[in-house]
Amino acid sequence: MWFLVICLFITLFVKIIIDQKQSGNSPPGPPGLPIIGNILDIKRLMKKTKFQAHVWCYLAKMYGPIVHLRLGFGYTFIIISGREAVIEMLSRAEFDGRPNNLEIQLRTGGEPRGLIFTDGKRWSEHRRFTIKTLKRLGFDKTNMEDMILEDTVTLLKIIEELAEKGPITNIYDLVSIAVIASFWFLVTGSKFQLDQKDPKLMEAIAISNENAKRSTTIGGIINQLPFLRYILPRLTGYTQLQERQNRLWLYFKKIIMEHKETEIQNEPTNLIDIYLKEMQTRCSNLSSSSEFNDENLIALIRDLFIASIETTTSTTGFVFAYLSVNQYIQKKIHDELDEVLGKDISPRLVHKNRLPYLQATLAEVARMGNVAATSVPHRAMNDTTLLGYNIKKNSILLANLMSVHMDENHWGDPKTFRPERFINEKGEYYDDPWLMSFGLGHRRCPGEILAKNFLFLIIACMLQRFHFAIAPGYPEPNLLGIDGFTISPPPINLLITKRI
């Protein structure tokens, strides 16, 4: 017993020495404490600023564009701020790795699987397969636009019926189903009916939203001090997280099993069946990769489900919030829609360039809403340097996108909601390269085109039909949103009226 205690103390002592010994060319940052590092520093700043991305911006002002943090046992975190540093980091292949912490393992059955939190061969093969398959299925073609518009028409009818009964408080839930419906048809071959609630689907959406709100990009205490999950499993949130992740895993596993039990008669017409066929082909070729398996397929469709819902739904929610508060901007969009399309012509993607103020408003919401205020964490795959600083292998790097979107030197008045900043002197929409909501480099979001198209179509259709305002007697929403792994829109009570 005493021998184990002595060994533990020796290990901790050596760990403290190693943690506090940094090379002279390491990035600057707060010194922190032995063992726990900067955990208390982050907690103190979070109490002050309320948002993790605000903490990163605060530290960037103190220490510069590259800030070094230690979070628990050997958990080195590098925060990258400012456009130059962010572009440099996101553009280099040696920073394309992903962390492999406890929370990431829990979400996909014990190890990193799927698309979002994998790297190397597993990631490259699944990314290539996903992009190729979705293009083959037509996610970037007219038939996808038709499906989105069909779902949007149904959504408009549902909203109109609900609005007649009073203020709407669950607009985000309604939009979530519309967001996933068309895309999910390409993935599974089955279509969600917007007017018929599926309890299992609603539960999956609710769990996904709960995970997003309760997690952060640097991970919780069980990542930083993982031994605590054995001592305080419920207090640290480990038990609850494990339960939520298991329920999601079983939901998607059941979908896969239903496809495996159904014999494919003709050429597969959805991503799951195409993946299963690819598995069979690779199994018959013993020299081929074994990365294609049931577990990676479950993780892949989980990643696609979450990616297709989370950021697009949240951005849509911020649009409602900002336009409900800024009525004069909503009126400008109404006037533009009336002039270009009138009341009877349905918005389509070909109308984009004729609706520059709508496009500019969506861009301004993306900039100020900062749904993805930071990148998904990256990992240095070898010892290297960044802007002259030494970066050790396996360091975790986080691109602070908010620092770019709120840079006063570029935007001038970044805290002012002003869509006109995205309109050039000719009155056309200007795609400012400082807006990087979907990331950059090899790990840029592969669903960017679909997300932008969906956002444009659904917002154009809803604003053509309805006027949105804060319901009488309710306070204005906090436009900063709710912090989490991504930033969620605030709770809002909407009075939605049909435009005459």
Higher-confidence residue of 461 and 171: namely 461
Residue 173: pLDDT band (50, 70, 90) is confident
Query: Does position 500 have pLDDT exceeding 80, yes or no?
Result: no
Interval 142-171: pLDDT, tens: 678 888 898 899 999 999 999 999 899 888
Interval 279-320: pLDDT, tens: 888 877 765 557 889 999 999 999 988 887 788 889 999 999
Interval 71-93: pLDDT, tens: 877 678 999 999 999 999 999 99
Six-digit token string for 51: 């948002």
Most confident among 268-282, 309-323, 400-414 (mean pLDDT): 400-414
Higher-confidence residue of 405 and 18: namely 405
Higher-confidence residue of 56 and 4: namely 56
What is the arithmetic mean of pLDDT over 116-127? 91
Interval 463-488: pLDDT, tens: 999 999 999 989 999 999 999 888 99
So what's the pLDDT on residue 8?
45
Whole-angstrom distance, CA of residue 195 vs CA of residue 489: 24
Whole-angstrom distance, CA of residue 65 vs CA of residue 83: 9
Q: pTM of the entire structure?
A: 0.91
Residue 24: pLDDT band (50, 70, 90) is low
Contact 35, 224 (CB under 8 A): no
Higher-confidence residue of 74 and 50: namely 50
What is the arithmetic mean of pLDDT over 38-63? 92
What is the arithmetic mean of pLDDT over 162-186? 85
Query: Does position 5 have pLDDT exceeding 80, yes or no?
Result: no
- Lowest mean per-residue pLDDT among 54-63, 213-222, 228-237: 213-222
Does 445 appear as a known binding residue?
A: yes
